[in-house]
Amino acid sequence: MAAAGEQLSFSDAYARSIVARVRGIEPGDPPLLLLDRTVFYPGGGGQPADAGAISRSADGATWPVRSARKVEGEIVHELEPAGAQTTGALPAVGDVVTAEIDWPRRHMLMRTHTALHVLCGVVWRDYGAQVTGGNMEPGSGRMDFEFERMSGELVDEIEAKVNAELAAGRDVRVRVLPRDEAFAIPDLIRTKINLLPPGIAEVRTVEIVGLDLQADGGTHVANTREVGGIRVTGYESKGRINKRIRIELVEE
């Protein structure tokens, strides 16, 4: 099998578009498009995949991309089904195209995702509660914790603490570590690094400097100040121990 195409969403979260060549096209519903490089995030870790568009350099023909996903290590773009297309014919192998993500949506996901890390870091640091899962949409998200003593009063306190950390302007650092090095970091062990597939040689880590460190594949902003503020919109018990906290971004 040929080497996987270049996947910029993992190395540069701020890359919005890229010129690429079509490596494969599979007509169908939806049609699937493979490029030699892409800025699309394929989804994972609770962060939805990017949407956007592919446009051909030769004639400007444009195809909306409704989603992306990973198939056998490659990022595959799902084009809008044929009936909804304005252009008709599909791109062909070898075509030079520009792949561009829906940046306002992605950037909101990056802010949301980073806010969830800060929430996770605060809840661990100040209450010793471990995160067990999470999910997000652009502008809102939820996290589940093993957090027996969570209450309405604590939720207000948590909201204030998260906003203080966001305003503190903490840098967000992404690194790729050899497996052994990553598995030696105590903070990573607590965030279920053990669930990573046994075969992988490297682990990507995301650090909110001074607050939170996780094994993570998603996209984040470079500094917590870029998130703005959050509001806790709800919390619920998913059992005696498991609690869910919902947040949303506060737009100024």
Residues that bind Zn ion (CB under 5 A): 113, 216, 218
DSSP 36-70: SEE-----BTTBPPP-EEEEETTT--EEEEEEEEE
> Which CB, 66 or 192, lies closer to Zn ion?
192
Minimum distance from CB of 39 to Zn ion (Å)? 18
Residue nearest to Zn ion (CB): 216
Residue type, 49: A
- Bridge partner residues of 248 (DSSP): 140, 231
- CA-nearest of 136, 142, 117 to 221 is 117
> Which CB, 5 or 141, lies closer to Zn ion?
141
Minimum distance from CB of 117 to Zn ion (Å)? 5
Minimum distance from CB of 116 to Zn ion (Å)? 7
- CA-nearest of 78, 95, 99, 110 to 17 is 99
> Which CB, 26 or 171, lies closer to Zn ion?
171
Minimum distance from CB of 206 to Zn ion (Å)? 5
> Which CB, 38 or 214, lies closer to Zn ion?
214
The CA-based diameter of the chain, rounded to the nearest angstrom, is 61
